[in-house]
Structure 1
Amino acid sequence: MFENFTQRQITTSEAVINLRHAGDGPPVLLLHGHPQTHVMWHRVAPRLAQTYTVVCADLRGYGDSSKPPTTPDHEPYSKRAMARDQVEVMRTLGFERFAVVGHDRGGRCAYRMALDHPDQIAALSVLDILPTAEHFRRADMSFAMGYWHWFFLAQPYDLPERLISGDPDAFYLRRGKHMFDEAALAEYRRCFTDPATIHAMCEDYRAGAGIDMRLDESDQKAGRRIACPVQALWGLKGPIDRWYDVCEVWRGWANDVEGRGIDCGHYLAEEAPEETLAALEPFLAKAFERISL
């Protein structure tokens, strides 16, 4: 995996971010979901690197990135804090403006980055998510049953940590592991069996149910919208397709929105890499045609 990619750790003002990068061309940052690492892009990143400079980074708290101490309001694990890390990473690599593609929790960091740092984000693609506030505001019994882990992981320290640590595989791989490459799965296991990572991932969800939700609500009240082109992709076999008009929800947050469902479950880049690339490549090409980096 990741042949011809360079692995590097970059120290930002708040964290140390682990990443791999390769390619030459307009910059594209790829951000992973829970409970994965940047390795989730192994079927997509090499192809994108034929056209773009591709950066695959571990979010703070995940993989081999650092796990900063938390605070009572969980701000160090807010998507705003994660976004600050990634903007600094890209600047260190020489990129003041770039496209970002985020899956799951990485998508939440990505859209927060687009809201907080509009001058840096040229295009945004979000995979299998809606804005955090939209999920919580629209929550009903179906959502609570399907997304019960949101409420479990957000419980106060250290109940979730202790229960997960008893059998991390049973919790993190409950959706099944058949869609994951064996080498990728080994990497995920190496990381999600680390107690520090388990705690950091719980902090991510505690932040989601608190400060992230409040930031989303504040932006909506202020009329702040995502300025760059937005692409929403989602799995047709997952609950998002059944519960929401995905593009219509994102149009409440951005003026330029396109997207479609892909015939797979939640893990688009690993379950359906060719279909995911077939959607991503024209979107990125069109976005970079509009701007001069």
Structure 2
Amino acid sequence: MSDIKDCGASPFIDGFALKAVTLSNGITLRVAIGGEGPPLLMLHGHPQNHLAWRKIAPQLAQKYQVILPDLRGYGDSDKPASDERHLAYSKRAMAEDISQLIDALGLSRVAFVGHDRGARVGHRLALDHPEKVACGTFVDIAPTATMYAQTDKAFATRYFWWFFLIQPYPLPETMIGHDPAFFLRKHIDGQLKTAGATSEAVFNDYLRCYQQPEMIHAVCEDYRAAATVDLEHDAEDSDKRIVCPLQLLWGEKGTVGQLYDVVETWQEKAINVQGKALPCGHSPQEEVPAVFLAQLQGFLDSVL
């Protein structure tokens, strides 16, 4: 049985209420919810939490019921213990959380938007629970298996954390834990290409969560899973395709946009794909929110 508890108004996103939603699997997710209308569920990436959507969520809430969870392991959501196969942080387990969240909120299908790790969870959600995804927007990613398979010096240099965070416990946990603020600042500053996109207040909230040893470990487990069990699941489902309409948005100044033909990387993963580069780095919803919002609303209007 699921359970929903009110946690007050969001201090960062006007008109949104914070909820603690305990799922039938026992995981509790922190979720910000605002607006009325067709449900729109948006998942953040690493190293952020649901505040990554703060610049566009109020506008979207004028037309949609906007649902902003913190992924398991991130923000104020539960950070469960893991295992040697990293199954607790597989994208299948994280997508199951979102499927159960949809049920707990009394919904049947949602429009989905995912950035970074959230989009990787969305990929698995669309494969494992296609009946619950009306359409998808994936932000600044190529498929995990593709990115690992095509690894070269340029990618390994730019996305070094894909190889650092997967090292065995406790190496990355210990090194990040020594100075989480330094690691977080360098990571965000390196990924985002628009000065001032992350305010100090928002950075401090990201840091509030990121400096918790439990979150540092969960982040590492997320990436360890991506390099192991997630690849196994992808290989097992190599014949499956995302059946809902899929929009891809990416930053033309970022690593993904510069190293990959993003639309082409998804054409073997989905049936109906479209995409566009935006004038920013890794986080368009924070860097160029008006541009991102216009592109997202246009897509939603065309498919819903």
TM-score relative to the length of structure 1? 0.95
Partner residue of 2:5? none
How many residue pairs match? The answer is 286
Give the partner amino acid of 1:180: T
Match of 2:192 in 1: none
C-alpha distance in structure 2 between counterparts of 1:14 and 1:121, whole Å: 23
Which whole-Å CA distance do the structure 2 matches of 1:242 and 1:7 have between them?
Answer: 37
> In the alignment, what sits opposite 1:291?
none
Deviation, 1:90, is 1.5
Taking the TM superposition and a 5 Å limit, the aligned residue runs for 1:102-121 are 102-121=114-133
Whether the 8 Å CA contact 1:14–1:85 is kept in 2: the answer is no
Do residues 231 (structure 1) and 247 (structure 2) align?
A: yes
Out of 192, 205, 213, the residue aligned to residue 223 of structure 2 is 205
- Structure-2 residue corresponding to 1:242: 258
1:286 pairs with 2:302: yes
Equivalent residues in 2 for 1:51-66, closer than 5 Å: 51-66=63-78
How far apart are the structure 1 equivalents of 2:202 and 2:275?
Answer: 27
Superposed, 1:62-73 pairs within 5 Å as 62-73=74-85
Aligned to 1:2: 13
Cα distance 1:203–1:213, how it changes in 2: closer, same or farther (>3 A)?
Answer: same
CA deviation profile, 1:225-274 (whole Å, cap 9, x unmatched): 00100000000101212211111111111111011000001111101101
1:193 alignment partner AA: Q
Query: C-alpha displacement at 1:182, in angstroms?
Result: 2.5
Q: Which runs of 5+ in 2 are unaligned?
A: 1-11, 190-194
Which range moves more in the overlay, 138-147 or 72-81? 138-147
Matches within 5 A, 1:149-160: 149-160=161-172
CA separation in 1, counterparts of 2:170 and 2:236? 29
Aligned position for 2:3: none
Do structure 1's residue 255 and structure 2's residue 271 form an aligned pair?
yes
Distance in 1 (CA, whole Å) between partners of 2:101 and 2:129 is 14
Deviation at 1:213, TM superposition (A): 1.3
**Pairwise mapping of residues 4-23 of structure 1 onto structure 2 (< 5 A)?**
4-12=15-23, 13-23=25-35
Secondary structure of the equivalent of 2:130?
Answer: coil
- Conserved 8 A contact 2:140-2:257: no
User: Root-mean-square deviation (CA), in Å?
Assistant: 1.0
Aligned to 2:6: none
From 115, 134, 156, the equivalent of 1:144 is 156
SS in 1 for 2:228: helix
AA matched with 1:23: G
Q: 1:244 is matched by which residue type in structure 2?
A: Y
Moved over 4 A (4+): none
What is the DSSP-based 3-state SS (H/G/I as helix, E as strand, rest coil) of the residue aligned with 1:154? coil
Instruction: Please give the TM-score of this superposition, normalised by the length of structure 2.
Output: 0.92
After superposition, residues 256-271 of structure 1 pair within 5 angstroms as: 256-271=272-287
Identity, % of aligned positions? 45
Partners of 1:161 and 1:199 within 8 A in 2: yes
How does 1:167-206 map onto structure 2 within 5 Å?
167-175=179-187, 176=189, 178-206=196-224
- Structure 2: distance between partners of 1:63 and 1:34: 10
SS of equivalent to 1:174 = helix
In the TM superposition, what are the counterparts of 1:74-89 in structure 2 within 5 Å? 74-89=86-101
**CA displacement 1:24-60 (0-9 Å, x = unmatched):** 1111101001011001100011111111110000000
TM-superposed deviation, 1:178: 3.3
